[in-house]
Structure 1
Amino acid sequence: MEGEDSTFGSIEELKEPLIGKEENLEPLGRSSEDSSSGWVSQVIRAPTRKDFEAEKNNSISIDLVGERKELIIHVDENLEPQAECCIYRVPRALRKMNKEAYTPTVISIGPLHHGNDKFADMEKQKIRYIIEFDKRIRPEKWQQLVNFIEENEKRIRNSYEENSELKKPEFITMILYDAVFIIELFLRYWPTERSDDFLLDRTCLSDAVWLDLQLLENQLPFFVLDGLYKSAFPNLDPDNGHPSFILLSCVFFGHCKVGEEINVKAEDILHFTHLSRYFKTKKYPKEFPKQGEELRDLACAVKLQGSGVQFKGISEGACLLDINFEERKWLGIPCLKVAELQIPHIEVDDYTETLMRNLMALEQCHYPRETIVCNYVDFMDMLIDTDEDVNKLAEARIISNFLGESARIAKMFNDLCLEISLSDSNYAGNIRGLKRHYENSWNNAKATLKRVYFSNLWKGTGTVAALLLLVFNLIQAIWSIISAFS
């Protein structure tokens, strides 16, 4: 296939850099194992003797200031993230909690992990998908795709917190390879296109790719993927079964099913990690705490249940974060209230911690004043202290345990919020109501009475029978006294 005036020539030339074994395995830029502090050392040098002399003399050295200024002036990289920045290196404090949760295992997307030898095998799969994608489009389309990336190169680079060391041809090629691979993967996953496929048919491999594509450090800007998709297929007709790229993405990641309406626009999504956060936070309570209000030290699930709080799992039509606590009168009697904490159902499996950690890392970096997912995890952490709390929530169909031991889930929630900064909690009203209910001695007394005497049908029947017998005996005694004085 030949494309006129193409920056990269034929499709064979486009594939060539990754087909050769030696070139395929050699990193083009900084390895993912390299520290991001390398270029910083150009600005922050080790102190010299002149530094110590200036400090000793308690005076300012003009020469020293000049040297510092020269060092800073000659740094090419921007020290501050650009306005378009949305893809970050996970902060060290979070990474040390669970390094594996933030590191791709089988595939590298974007510049942050580009060039690592461990992804060499999957680079060959990318080439296979590029060849398949080539069959879908006209030859001249390749130049349009390259032009789109060239026109948006600065915006793409600015989307990353860390400056890429890749030169322009290498950077454009890398973005094009990764984007075309993702588009072809999503198209092959679409139900009407499904056929035998080496990657998709191997569950362990496809699951690993599915997870890697949602890691914060392993992203392409969504506008790049959507723009290339529209450039490659300009005559899309949704009415004839041609899905938009946002729909392809939502179906691939399980945010919706084919045929379901999605109320999300491509221009509102930053990348795949952000897409997942969107679907988890599109509906949530927005009541914030009063000034000076203490919203920590909430009793765990077992203790709350001991005070009469009932737990209810919500399965249909609820956002994961849509937690609600309500107290309602029983049979219209004010002193007999039913307290119920409604929490949407969540399946906890081998991928849950990784997905949660990356959503939380995105909030720490991009939404520090709107840590909605972090607040949800913090709320669940307050409810869960031990495996007994997990079991209580599982009995209420709030948690489905696919990890095995309940203690693993308890530890997961207890560890997730370590090194996390929280904004004002959007569960302030729920926490306030739960604390008020738990601290009410009458509620605890009612719950104890119910647990001891009415925990099941037999105990309840026996308790009622004993009360009736007591009443009858009391009436008989009163009647006997009245008869004696008649």
Structure 2
Amino acid sequence: MFPKKPTDSSTTHQHNFDESRWVINVRKSLDAELEEQHSLEQVTVSIFTVPKALMCTHRDSYTPQRVSIGPYHCLKPELHETERYKLTIARKFRNNSKSFRFHDLVEKLHPMEVKIRACYHKYIALSEETLLWIMAIDSSFLIEFLKVYYGFGKVETLINRVGHNEILRDVMMLENQIPLFVLRKTLEFQLESTESADALLVSVLTGLCRDLSPLVIKFEDCETLKAQIHEYNHILDFLYQMIVPRIEEEEEENRGDENRAGENRACKLLREMKLQFKRVFASRPADTILRLPWRVISNLPGFIALNYLFTRQENEETSPTVSVLDIEKPPLVSELTIPSVSELHKAGVKFKPTQNGNVSTVSFDSNSGHFHLPVINLDINTETVLRNLVAYEASNTSGGPLVFTRYTELINGIIDSDEDVRLLREQGVLVSRLKSDEEAAEMWNGMSKSVRLTRVGFLDKTIEDVNRYYTGRWKVKIGRFVEVYVYGSWKIFAFLAAVLLLILVSLQVLSLVFSSLRLLGLRTG
């Protein structure tokens, strides 16, 4: 028998204490889940940390510089300076209600504690009390600050000392969000009415988004938004859903129509006849007979140029369509290219602003050459809002199409220089409050970084239609012909010129030699 190993009483006591605390925390968490009125199955993670691929490109656009909202950045020392201003605004919110006490608000939020944690992607290493007090203070601050857009008073101290635009940028950052149901509960607690709380919340949110949206959007009826307010996760999600359409249902309907059309008997019969036709003319004798005249004509001088000018557009129009399997694959780099605004303008394309700022209004009319785009609103806050919308879409969309990201790639593709920005401004598609058109162009060109590439049906079709229209214009065809067959062949022409010069020099030398020999022969004769 081996002697028993002596045990450390302090270690055993600490081990038992950790186990007991773990059991207490688990039991408390499960009990809180049972007490929660709304099932956690209905709660989805909506407040994420920014993907590293985006964070490393422009860190200041994703990290709050003045005010922290929520648990992600609340304990950072560089943000402590503005905490007292937050408390000042929160006190003003408290003073607007007769019987308002923050302790009572914290108690109201207590049943939501598990639900609040479930909204955050990153683990919240804060105690229950700390998290609830953060929610109470930050929700009160946000509501009082956003009332500026509803016409209630002014937040002069905070605006003057901290900076109005800096706070707005911080409020729209992905990592600086709190659940919208916390704001609703806080307003409901203050106003003592759910209907009044939803009406005020919709008003301040629409005012904020109207001021900060990168697209000039037309909001729906307030009653409709009030009925749908529970569907929005937070402030950034509210703006995202206002400018990005829900395309899942439309795509399913289109797939259904295509499947029904594919089952049509007439289509099947035509397909079989086409196959039989191909089998007959694909044989070697038929292929040789049919191709012989074409080969003779194609070798005639100058036919290459005519073939380039007349058949290039036909080849593009008859190019194979994207298969069902290709839809699931990310697009190729060549499928992302699109001419710039100035190039399209020279080719006859006219840019037309759409009335509703929804991304779904992007389209191109091949008959008239009109490129329809929602009106873009640029100011000093636009870049931060754009980047956080892209980050939210990349984090919130698991494997689905990144609609807004694809839209930013489209705008980034057509804007290359300040001349492109100027043309969009003159045609009413872009409203800029920046210092110069060059600054606007640099901002859009810096938006090229994305997490992944995806296909978006109506945007990909727009890019394809624009490219087909552009390459089919005679100006573009002649310009490309000169570039390919004239400027592109300068090396061959230089080589032929050198050979010709060498031949001429050789002939001249030979003629001099023969002349010298003739003179020498005459003299010796």
TM, length-normalised to structure 2: 0.61
Give 1 or 2: higher helix fraction.
2
Match of 1:361 among 380, 387, 391: 391
- Residues 313 and 344, structure 1, Cα contact 8 Å, conserved in 2: yes
Amino acid at match of 1:263: T
Q: Is 2:232 aligned against 1:232? A: no
Q: Is the 8 A contact 1:437 1:443 kept in 2?
A: no
- 1:347 and 1:157 map into 2 onto residues whose CA distance is 35
Match of 1:261 in 2: 222
**Are the structure 2 counterparts of residues 364 and 196 from structure 1 closer, same or farther at C-alpha, using a change threshold of 3 Å?**
closer
Alignment of 1:103-252 (within 5 A): 103-139=63-99, 142-187=102-147, 189-191=149-151, 193-195=152-154, 197-200=156-159, 202=160, 205-235=163-193, 243-252=199-208
Query: Secondary structure of the equivalent of 2:452?
Result: coil
Q: Deviation string for 1:190-239 (max 9, x for gaps)?
A: 31x22573224x3971221122111000010111111221122223665x
SS at match of 2:462: helix
- Measured against aligned partners, the alpha-carbon deviations of 1:321-345 in whole angstroms (never above 9, x if no partner) come to 52121133xxxxxxxxx31101122
Checking the alignment, whether the CA contact within 8 Å between 1:186 and 1:252 is kept in structure 2 is: yes
Structure 2, gaps ≥5 residues long: 1-21, 27-39, 212-216, 255-320, 481-525
**Number of aligned residue pairs:** 357
**Distance in 2 (alpha carbons) for counterparts of 1:416 and 1:184:** 33
Alignment check: 8 A CA contact 1:383 1:389 kept: yes
Go from structure 1 to structure 2 and tell me whether the alpha carbon gap of 1:364 and 1:136 turns closer, same or farther (over 3 Å shift). same
Query: Which residue in 2 is equivalent to 1:352?
Result: 382
- Name the CA shift for 1:406/1:178 in 2 (closer, same or farther; >3 Å): same
SS in 1 for 2:353: strand
Which residue in 2 is equivalent to 1:298? 338
- How high is the TM-score relative to the length of structure 1? 0.66
Residue 28 of structure 1 aligns with which residue?
Answer: none
Give 1:91 shift.
1.2
Return the alpha-carbon distance in structure 2 between the equivalents of residues 430 and 387 of structure 1.
Answer: 23
Indicate how the Cα distance of structure 1 residues 343 and 189 shifts in structure 2: closer, same or farther if over 3 A, else same.
closer
Who wins on radius of gyration, i.e. which is larger? 2
Alignment of 1:389 onto 2:429 = no
Of 327, 340, 348, which residue of structure 1 is paired with 2:366? 327
Are 2:461 and 1:422 equivalent residues in the alignment?
A: no
CA change 1:229–1:208 in 2 (3 A) is same
Taking only the aligned residue pairs, the percentage that are identical comes to 21
Task: Answer whether contact 1:247 1:262 (CA < 8 A) is retained.
Answer: no
Structure-2 residue corresponding to 1:436: 468
Indicate if the aligned counterparts of 1:320 and 1:345 stay in contact, CA closer than 8 A. no
RMSD: 3.4
Q: Describe the superposition over 1:377-397 as per-residue Cα deviations: whole angstroms up to 9, x where unpaired.
A: 011112122333223222322
> Which of 173-182 and 246-255 deviates more?
246-255
Q: 1:302 to 1:352 in 2, by over 3 A?
A: same
Partner amino acid, structure 1, of 2:112 = N
Q: Which residue of 1 aligns with 2:55?
A: 95
- Conserved 8 A contact 2:366-2:469: no
Output the amino acid matched with 2:107: N
Q: Which runs of 5+ in 1 are unaligned?
A: 1-73, 329-337, 449-486
Match of 1:37 in 2: none
* Bigger mean CA offset, 275-284 vs 93-102: 275-284
Change (3 A) 1:404 1:130: closer
Structure-2 change in CA distance of 1:262 and 1:242 (3 Å): closer
Q: Look up the equivalent residue of 1:131 and give its one-letter code.
A: R
Give a deviation string over 1:294-343, Cα, whole Å, max 9, x none: 632222222222322122233x3332552121133xxxxxxxxx311011
Q: In the alignment, is the contact (CA less than 8 A) between 1:104 and 1:218 conserved in 2?
A: yes
1:313 and 1:162 map into 2 onto residues whose CA distance is 40
CA shift in 2, pair 1:263/1:242, >3 Å? closer
Question: In the TM superposition, what are the counterparts of 1:33-52 in structure 2 within 5 Å?
Answer: none
Tell me the equivalent position of 1:280. Answer: 243
The Cα shift of 1:283 comes to: 7.7
Show CA shifts across 1:133-177 (max 9, x none).
222334476454222321111111121111111112211111111
Evaluate the alpha carbon distance shift between residue 242 and residue 269 of structure 1 in structure 2; reply closer, same or farther with a 3 A threshold: closer
